[in-house]
Structure 1
């Protein structure tokens, strides 16, 4: 199989999650929808069920969800509810709802009420602590994960054993390692990995069982690793934000020879940056993994009065030989909007060029983004000349 054929296989999974879900259901498997952010998917995998990521969709308009949502809710959250209401996700056997931002907290209750009203799948509420690192925070996380575990066991009709959970942690750590390897190789070979293909490979992980996905990704990584050293002449950037998975928008990067050297995107590298310990109590290991998360705008940073993510993003520019940062800011995302001034200040302080683009899943016209990215690329290219 050629590298392009690998990309096409991942794109099929990424662009048609409904087909993936139906295929797993045809195998007799149960499936659990997993909303952002940082839900312990390992518990779903250990229960013998399929975790299916819920990160909105670029293919729907918001209609039914408007009955439950305020107009200023981000499109990601509204579209998750829309798909639950309109039947798109009726094959799911349950949904895990997280609460790490001011939209997801009330949205979790909107989903719970609407699913109960319609007699649809059970909903599992998960409230992560912000003070996640002290022992009391870890114990609270464990208690929340135990609640999730018990409800998943009820849906699965079987107990989740420590042995199964330890195996799931190993499977997920291997998957995270291969995805970290992929984004590094994609940055080293932009001539072979377009922004569109890079996104599809990472997005596919949300709709495939992780052992199947990792096996396919390892084969692709081995082929990328065997390529000769790249002689890329275009611009290299670090991307930042919650999500940027729209092929039409990413195509603008490809058309302007803008390569993604590395990312700090919640939907991408932030989701697989941190492994879980493989020794000891597996429930504590999952809680420890959450405690170990860092440089995350959605989480409290007790080490500083301000979030240190700005310094981290700047370090990615240096470490991966990039010339700038593209900030994809989800419309109506309060955490990112509040954090942006400190990010901008740090990038300006370090003389790192950046551009901010407001996006959401409802965008269909990318004319302004195209003009802005073209100008951004031209300015950096002139500086490089």
Structure 2
């Protein structure tokens, strides 16, 4: 029985990245032998065990054979005669197909170290095109490794396109699509995830609401980049620059979905795109089973980002409606993520990247002013019920007006 450190831990050590997780492969063992040694079985599809002390994952070396469409359409063989090379051959990319023994000796039968130095994301074998999850993983690795200058190898890109044209990509389960998307949103360069999927033809199948933004024009006066898809990627870049929150980045990515189904007769105007976008975000979240915290922030950004951009032109009563729409008085934690995504939208335009955005501070002042009006003083005047609510609204609108007048539009 021989144990090897494999995959991402080896890759990241060689690349100089922090190693957060360690996975091991065990050659020459049986499930019975692993359990006898104190390892706890956790794998459903193939034998994976947790170390009795460290709780790190140890998987028996295995091979796989395609038997049906999709991620689960494989038959696995984890017999004791499966070699380390056999196990590494089934992995997705050469940079993930390296192993180290306990003495630190590197095993690299598929030239992963050379591809690491060349900054290439290259498949290990033609079996790559049997598993649609690998397409998502390549796009995600492109996002995670962007600071090191990685690109997708040409022959791997062709296999990714085959996964799309063969229909394999359509067999991806929603949970896995979202899991890889969420990891990409947490990466240094989420836009690469979108770009790589689009280059492979997979964006139209997995995120058609985003794909259809490309080629849709916007008024050049406000959007020198014109193309809505290009603007979307620029906004995502700005959100990445402003915040590490994946929720903020997701909201930036989908903030303009409503522009994808604007009536062609009114282009490049996009009247009403905010509410159309809300419907599309909710449908996307339901389809991919996206957590509510992502959906709810994205809905608020889609619905209200235009109001924030025009906040200095709005009546105080309308600003109060914005405050209520954000549920800012009950949930003040809603405000900052919302404003970060909206600021990313403002800056995600050619030549606007470093312009000041005083609108965000104006909204902060309005929220603070509304929060400062408490019901107790009004209740001492004998107000209650509907009358109390109306008086609170009046006082909060007045407070907002004063707060905005103190700092007028620059």
TM-score greater than 0.5 by the shorter chain: no
TM range (shorter): under 0.3
Higher relative contact order (CA closer than 8 Å, sequence separation 6+): 1
